[in-house]
Copies of this chain bind each other. A is one copy, B any other.
Amino acid sequence: MHVMILGGAGMLGRKLAERIAAEGGLAGQSVRHLTLADVITPQTPHGFVGTTDCTAVDLTVPGAAEGLLTTRPDIIYHLAAVVSGEAEADLEKGYRVNLDGMRHLLEAIRAEREGSAWRPRVVFASSIAVFGGDMPDVIGDDYFLTPQTSYGTQKAMCELLLADYARRGFIEGIGLRLPTVCVRPGKPNRAASGFFSGIIREPLAGQEAVLPVSEDVRHWMASPRKTVGFLIHAAGLDVALLGDRPNLTMPGLSVTVGEQIAALERVAGSRATALIRREPDPVIARIVDGWARGFDTARARALGFEAETEFDEIIRVHIEDELGGKIPAA
């Protein structure tokens, strides 16, 4: 099996490649070849026994996707995107990378498969940012998509493209609306949601974190481990079960910032929570106010997707996966 990861240098792409390398396979088949592509050259995952191609490629350049697809991967993970803050600040870049990138990919697949039986599975990382504005506390599987950011708009448009190309038989398409990934490791990025991770990650490392919103803000989260688990699970899913609706809201945990902080105190004590500095930011507060607070993900759960059920577990996953099982600041 040949697996391609677009966005292979990003946080999720790297973790997915490492998981595939560690397990040696995907969907019950061994993975012999891995192609990792991104705008910067991705790294070969540790311990992978197959062959790896790590390529720097810009999918927004016409012809780039075609060149990549001549090797006809069995599964293509499309995780490459400009994040919400950047897509809002730079309209042209957001549409070029997030929308045109997807369109180039799908068109390149259509061109490459011409006259052949090759029909790759495309697993697309969508986002709960496709929802927005005035919403119920719990959003069901048939609730309409009303993004309030350009990022969410682009993801929603890509979902529609994915569904149309799947319906026409060019791909096996699966779109996963990922929760906010928390605790996101590494440096803060330009996502407006960054503080949900920052208020856990920085105090655990003995550093101060800024909280720009009030503690009653509620949001939908899953750990990086579970998020990669969604991507892995999508590889083996019977696509016939998706019917004519290949985009699914992923399970997550609906939690308030106050509950996050209480869990941090249980796991790491008040020395950690004392490092959270309240610094209200009306711009971020306004953005976050337009985000979903919770979902009923009956379809995804029936298809076997699973997330954490309490925030303490999300913190423990971070400590295990990122901090070697120990709290540095403790």
- Residues of chain A touching chain B, judged by Cβ–Cβ distance below 8 Å, are 91, 110, 132-134, 142-148, 150, 153, 156-157, 160-161, 163-164, 167-168, 243-245, 290
Whether A245 contacts B147 by the Cβ 8 Å rule is no
Contact of A153 among B145, B148, B163 (CB under 8 A): B163
CB distance from A164 to the nearest CB of B (A): 4
Q: Which residues of B contact A132 (CB under 8 A)?
A: 244
Q: Known contacts A132-B244, A145-B145, A146-B245: does B153 contact A164 (CB below 8 Å)?
A: yes
Whether B153 contacts A161 by the Cβ 8 Å rule is yes
Whether B148 contacts A167 by the Cβ 8 Å rule is yes
Q: How far is the CA of A160 from the CA of B290 in the complex (A)?
A: 16
Q: How far is the CA of A9 from the CA of B91 in the complex (A)?
A: 33
Whether B133 contacts A245 by the Cβ 8 Å rule is yes
Q: Which residues of B contact A143 (CB under 8 A)?
A: 142-144
Q: Which residues of B contact A150 (CB under 8 A)?
A: 164, 168
Query: Which B residue sits closest to A246, measured CB to CB?
Result: B146
Query: Which B residue sits closest to A156, measured CB to CB?
Result: B160
Contact of A133 among B91, B156, B160, B243 (CB under 8 A): B243
* CB<8 Å pairs between A and B, sample of 21: A91-B110, A132-B244, A133-B243, A133-B245, A134-B243, A142-B144, A144-B144, A144-B145, A145-B145, A146-B163, A147-B163, A148-B167, A148-B244, A150-B164, A150-B168, A153-B164, A156-B160, A157-B157, A157-B161, A160-B160, A244-B290
Q: In the A-B complex, list the 5 residue pairs whose CB atoms are closest, starting with the nearest.
A: A153-B164, A133-B244, A157-B157, A144-B144, A142-B144
Whether B133 contacts A147 by the Cβ 8 Å rule is no
Contact of A164 among B110, B147, B160, B244 (CB under 8 A): B147
Whether A147 contacts B134 by the Cβ 8 Å rule is no
Whether A146 contacts B91 by the Cβ 8 Å rule is no
Q: Known contacts A91-B168, A168-B91: does B146 contact A244 (CB below 8 Å)?
A: yes
CB distance from A71 to the nearest CB of B (A): 24
CB distance from A330 to the nearest CB of B (A): 44
Whether B168 contacts A147 by the Cβ 8 Å rule is no
Q: Which residues of B contact A156 (CB under 8 A)?
A: 160
Whether B164 contacts A134 by the Cβ 8 Å rule is no
Query: Which B residue sits closest to A140, measured CB to CB?
Result: B144
Q: Which residues of B contact A133 (CB under 8 A)?
A: 243-245
